[in-house]
Amino acid sequence: MNKRDAYFRQHGGQLLLDMMKLENQVSFKLYDREEIELATNNFRESAILGQGGQGTVYKGFDLDPENNPVAIKRCKGIDANRRMEFGQELLILSRVRHEYIVKLLGCCLQFEVPVLVYEFVPNKTLHYLIHGQSDASTRTLDIRLEIAAQSAEALAYLHSLDHPIFHGDVKSANILIGDKFTAKVSDFGCSIFRAAADENINVVKGTIGYLDPEYLMTFQLTDKSDVYSFGILLLELLTRRKPLSNEVSLASLFQDAMKKGNIDHHIDKEILHEDNMELLHEFACLASQCLVMDSENRPAMSHVADILRQLADTASQQHTGTLQGIRSLRLLGNSSGSILEPCYSPVETMEYDSRKTSMGIEFAR
């Protein structure tokens, strides 16, 4: 048996192939090693789109029938104890079809590590939109709310599946921006891809600054873990600050400001206008609910999505210059008062240092 066949079997390729034969309609492809090498020019450095804790993403060509580019992710590895589950989990991920989720097109299991092929999303990430580029007209309040609503709808969909998928690494860098500022959630289900070196139970997955404190204590990833991380993302959109600054968490600063009633001092000045205040306070209230320490008291992602859709639609209806720059928004016809239930009482959030929590838990790189 040559190496490529050995890798294929090692990664559960035969089981995946057998399961695919039982499916009536499978829009998922097993690519040959040569196709991937040709598409990435042998994983040339110039083709790299980005690198993260789960692997490296390359821009590839010649895999799509219409010659559209694709995103090819070379994973760091998978947990040796879960190889038999890997094929089944890939099939589950391949069935995910949502307009705000990056589509998994196929995989190649003939390398030392799995290689996944995704649809290519043309623009950069939400992280870049918030923190990187300088054009304020591309991050008006209605754009921010629409991206937040679409992202929440995607996560709520993942949570609602027969086999629920918990994202596990919700952050602005994992929200890609497509045409017309459409959000595309990426790296969903990334918790199934684990390096063999990460088998220590005291290793948690995710990104420092976004991690649910309850997950840090229990090592149990849940739908409410995603809700907490999404709350941090909402704070980024609201304040245009990063989750950690000088080892102080944005969540801690925000909840303290909510408690003191001076949240306006932390809202991004680009969107801090008198006509926006009711929308901004609703937005802040929702973020605060997502960040409650006790996960049982956090809203479900479906509820978060519903509220954000109402806020986004309100902003869009009153913003006559959508996508044309910053203009005033006005709330009209909201005679019933706040569309949100009262905020949960803000509670203190856990502080993070750059590498460990106060409990000494190590973070996986």
Annotated catalytic residues are 169
Task: Give the separation between CA 281 and CA 238, rounded to whole angstroms.
Answer: 10
Task: Give the separation between CA 191 and CA 221, rounded to whole angstroms.
Answer: 9
Task: Give the separation between CA 85 and CA 94, rounded to whole angstroms.
Answer: 14
Task: Give the separation between CA 45 and CA 140, rounded to whole angstroms.
Answer: 35
Name the strand (E) or helix (H) holding 50.
strand 48-52
Q: Are 148 and 255 in contact (CB under 8 A)?
A: no
Could you give the C-alpha distances from 285 to 140, 193, 197, 258, 344, in angstroms and in order? 19, 34, 40, 8, 8
Q: Are 183 and 100 in contact (CB under 8 A)?
A: yes
Nearest to 69 by CA among 45, 49, 90, 88: 49
Q: Are 47 and 59 in contact (CB under 8 A)?
A: yes
- The torsion defined by the Cα of 119, 165, 201 and 356, in degrees rounded to 10, comes to 70
Could you give the C-alpha distances from 310 to 91, 169, 334, in angstroms and in order? 34, 26, 11
